[in-house]
Amino acid sequence: MRASTFALALSTVPAALAANYDVTVGAGGNLVFNPEYVQAAVGDTVTFTFNPKNHTVTQSTFDEPCKLNPEGFNSGFMPVDVGSVDLPHVMLTVNHTNPMWFYCQQQKPEPHCQKGMVFAINPPPEHDPHSFAAFKALAMGSGSTPSSTAVDNWSTPPPQTWHTATATVSHEGSTWLTTYTSYEGTPQPTFAPQPVDHKIVVGVDGKLAFGPANISAAIGDTVTFEFRPKNHGVVQSSFSQPCQPLEESTGVVGFNSGLMPVSADATEFPTFRITINDTAPIWGYCPQTQPMSHCGAGMVFSINAVESGPNNFANFVELAKRTAGPPTSSGNGNNGTSDNGSDNGSDNSNNDNGALPGAQRSVITIAGVISLALVLFV
C-alpha cells in the first residue's frame, strides 16, 4: 500500500484527543470526494483514500477553486488500477480551524474540478457567502472547457439502464453475498466506515436552489434537508420525470417532505432527513409551483448520480427545465399542506403512515426497486 503523511504544521494537541476523518476520492468512478467536507479540530487528521482512475487532493483558495495554492497541500497524482484492493491513501494533519479548500487536478478527459470534484475542511455555514456550496458553485463555473455534461445541442438522455450484479458486503462483523439490481455505473453496496450526515440547504442564499445540489453518500449515511425562508419542499422523483413524484411516474412511493413554509426572520429552520440504504441514484425536486415552478427553474437535486454517463446531474437539471409542466395538485407535495413547517428534526425513520419513503426503507428498497438476495457467511 502506498501511504504518505502530510502535516500542515506541527501539532501540540495530544494524539489521544485527535479524531480521524476518512474521505474517499473518486469512489464508484464518480468525480466526488465523500464526504465533501468535514469540520475538524486542531490535531485531527483527514485520511484520503484513492479509488481507481487517477486523482489528486490539491489545496487551492476559495476565490480560485481550481488553481493550485503553491504553499498548500498537494498529494500529487495517485493512479489506481481498476479492481485494485490495496488502495493508496494520504493523511493530512489539521493544525488550525481556518477554512481550507481542495480540488482534484485531473484534466483528462475533462477537468474534474469544474465537474464539482472539490473538498473543504472547516467551511463556513451555508448562509455564509464563503460556504462550501458557494465554493463548489464557483468551481463548477470557473472553466469553459466542453465536457460530457454540457447541454449545448442537448438531446433527451436515454432511460437509465438496469444491471444485475453480485457483491460481498461486510458490516458490523457480518459478511454476506448479495445479488442486487441497480443502475449501470453505481458503486457496489459498501457501508460507510463512519456514517456521515450530509446537509443540503433548501433555498440556499434565497435562491431556487439546493446547496449542495449533487452529492455522493454511502450506505448508512443520512441526508438532512434544512429549509430556509420562503416555502419549499423535497419530493423524490425519477431521472426521466424530474418534476413528478416518483409514485406518479413509476408507481413506487418515494419520500415527500410536504411544503415547509419558513418566515424571513426565522432563526430556527425545519429539517427533513432520509437514510441511504443502497447506492442507486436518488433524484428529487422542490414541488412549489407558485408563483412559478421551482423545479422548472432548475431547483432539483441528486444523490449518487452517475456522472460518467448520460444520466448525470447536469442533464437532470436540463431535463427538469425543459419538461416542467403547469401547476398540479400533486406537484405541491403532500397535498400542499404546510403543517410540517415546524417539524424541526423530523426523520423519515419515524414515518407512521405505513408508506415509508424509498430512501428510508430497508437495504432492499431504494424506491422499492432494488432486490437483494443475502447469503450469510458462517
Return the minimum-mean-pLDDT range out of 11-25, 158-172, 242-256, 259-273.
158-172
**Amino acid present at 348:** N
pLDDT band at residue 302 using 50, 70 and 90 as cut-offs: very high
Residues 124 and 170 grouped into a single domain? no
Asked if pLDDT for residue 360 goes beyond 60, the answer is no
**Half-sphere exposure of residue 219: CA atoms within 13 angstroms, side-chain side:** 21
Q: Would residue 147 count as lying in a domain?
A: no
Return the minimum-mean-pLDDT range out of 7-21, 22-36, 69-83.
7-21
Return the minimum-mean-pLDDT range out of 6-10, 144-148, 197-201, 243-247.
144-148
Residues 126 and 239 grouped into a single domain? no
Q: Would residue 168 count as lying in a domain?
A: yes
State the pLDDT at residue 249: 87
Element (H, E) at 301: strand 300-303
Residues 199 and 345 grouped into a single domain? yes
Report the pLDDT averaged over residues 314-329: 72
Residues 191 and 106 grouped into a single domain? no
Report the pLDDT averaged over residues 66-95: 92
What is the extent of the structural domain holding 278?
Answer: 162-376
CB atoms within 10 A of CB 97: 13
Query: Of 106, 130, 154, which marks where a domain is finished?
Result: 130
Residues 339 and 192 grouped into a single domain? yes
Residues 230 and 368 grouped into a single domain? yes
Report the pLDDT averaged over residues 78-94: 92
State the pLDDT at residue 44: 94
Question: pLDDT digit string (tens) for 90-105?
Answer: 999 999 999 999 999 9
Q: How many domains would you assign to the chain? A: 2
Please report, for residues 24, 185, 191, 279, the alpha-carbon distance to residue 175 in angstroms, rounded to integers and kept in the order given.
22, 23, 11, 18
**Half-sphere exposure of residue 367: CA atoms within 13 angstroms, side-chain side:** 24
Asked if pLDDT for residue 273 goes beyond 60, the answer is yes
Asked if pLDDT for residue 60 goes beyond 50, the answer is yes
Q: Would residue 73 count as lying in a domain?
A: yes
Asked if pLDDT for residue 368 goes beyond 60, the answer is no
Query: Of 87, 115, 130, which marks where a domain is finished?
Result: 130
What DSSP string runs through 181-236? Answer: EEETTPPP--B-SS--EEEEEETGGGSS-EES-EE---BT-EEEEEEPSEEE--EE
pLDDT band at residue 149 using 50, 70 and 90 as cut-offs: very low
Return the minimum-mean-pLDDT range out of 25-29, 85-89, 157-161, 250-254.
157-161
Burial of 285 (0-12, 13-18, 19+ CB in 10 A): buried
Return the minimum-mean-pLDDT range out of 131-145, 149-163, 206-220, 310-324.
149-163
Residues 53 and 195 grouped into a single domain? no
Residues 175 and 238 grouped into a single domain? yes
Please report, for the domain that includes residue 271, its CATH number: 2.60.40.420
State the pLDDT at residue 280: 85
Q: Would residue 156 count as lying in a domain?
A: no
Q: Would residue 155 count as lying in a domain?
A: no
Residues 68 and 215 grouped into a single domain? no
Residues 265 and 327 grouped into a single domain? yes
State the pLDDT at residue 176: 54
Residues 325 and 181 grouped into a single domain? yes
Q: Would residue 294 count as lying in a domain?
A: yes
Average confidence score pLDDT of the chain: 77
The residue among 345, 319, 105, 135 whose CA lies nearest residue 227 is 345
Q: Would residue 146 count as lying in a domain?
A: no
Report the pLDDT averaged over residues 19-34: 91
* pLDDT higher at 18 or 343: 18
**Half-sphere exposure of residue 130: CA atoms within 13 angstroms, side-chain side:** 14
State the pLDDT at residue 85: 85
Question: pLDDT digit string (tens) for 190-243?
Answer: 666 788 899 999 999 889 999 999 998 888 899 999 999 999 999 999 999 999
pLDDT band at residue 167 using 50, 70 and 90 as cut-offs: low
Residues 12 and 57 grouped into a single domain? yes
Q: Would residue 136 count as lying in a domain?
A: no
Is the CB of residue 270 less than 8 Å from the CB of residue 342? yes
